Amino acid sequence: MFRLDPAKNESAEFVSTKSRVRDFRWRGADQLVIASIDGVRTFRVEQGRCRLIAEAFYSLKMNVGPVWLSEFDKEGGCAVAGFWSVMKVNPDGTKGWEVAGRLNPTAAPVVADGRIFTSWRLGDVMCHDSASGELLWKKEYPHSMFGGMKSLTKDLLLVGSGDRTRLVSPSTGTTVADLGEYSGCRGGPFAMGGGEFWYITTLHRVVRVSANERSGREFSTLTSKPSGIARTEDGGACVVTEGAGVVDLR
């Protein structure tokens, strides 16, 4: 990995994992957690230097496909999904458990309320117990290249796997609400405040979801392929597209 100095417009090697990097997250200000094709490494950053403090290796080398890291739970642990498996990484960076997944994850795992949720390219959505790795439930939807997920509330999980986006019960996987024929989730969802979440569909639409009303409605249709969405300081949002640059959605 390289570190960019924007003031000098220069980059220099920051840390070497000796393996291809797929995803990374900062744990606080002094720990860098990196997911590679062979495992997850935790580094302590001191005075601009990285020191390896823990490693957690997969039982099967993930030499193809994406590898995704979740956000950290309250204790500082996280989950990683890639190729064929799901692995729990303890707060100290060591390996907790590893269980079989499906083929290629479509989004970062979601860690919420003692559960780990993952979505897969074959259309499966899986829920595992965060402490033990036990499979709590699994749902099968149509095949999907994309599948964003987010815990909206304690009782509501947004699942974008397959041909449409659904609000489901985190405890059972039962569909609470079908958000209509907006197609699957490509980007997001992003919290916009007031119980409202926005996401981008595979058909280039921007959809607003109300967690309170458990419903969704189309907000805007983009003329070119979107690649990301971000919230603005005044409470609006903008979308980065491949053809039209930045589109302001306020």
Q: What is the pLDDT of residues 92-144, one digit of tens each?
A: 999 999 998 888 888 889 999 999 999 888 888 999 999 999 999 999 877 66
Of residues 146 and 18, which shows the higher confidence score? Answer: 18
Question: Mean pLDDT score of the chain, rounded to an integer?
Answer: 80
Among the listed ranges 11-15, 57-61, 84-88, 184-188, which one has the minimum average pLDDT value?
Answer: 11-15
Distance separating alpha carbons of residues 15 and 75, to the nearest angstrom: 25
Structure-token match 């005044």, residue found? 234
CATH of domain 1-140: 2.40.128.630
Q: How far, CA to CA in Å, does 65 sit from each of 20, 23, 25, 83, 198?
A: 11, 12, 19, 6, 27
Look at residue 192 and tell me whether its pLDDT is greater than 70: yes
Does residue 155 sit in helix, strand or coil? Answer: coil
pTM (two decimals): 0.81
Per-domain boundaries in the chain: 1-140
Query: Greatest CA span in the chain, whole angstroms?
Result: 52
The sign of the CA dihedral 69, 191, 124, 172 is positive
Among the listed ranges 45-49, 206-210, 235-239, which one has the minimum average pLDDT value?
Answer: 235-239
Q: In sequence order, what DSSP letters do the residues of 20-52 get, joined into one string?
A: -EEEEEEETTTEEEEEESSEEEEEEEETTEEEE
Length of the chain: 250
Q: What is the pLDDT of residues 1-31, one digit of tens each?
A: 555 455 555 444 556 667 788 889 999 889 9
Q: Are 123 and 141 in contact (CB under 8 A)?
A: yes
Sequence-distant (6+) residues with CB within 8 A of 48 are none
HSE-CB at 179 with a 13 A cutoff on CA atoms is 34
User: What number of other Cβ atoms are within 10 A of residue 225's Cβ?
Assistant: 13
The whole-number average pLDDT for the span 207-216 is 79
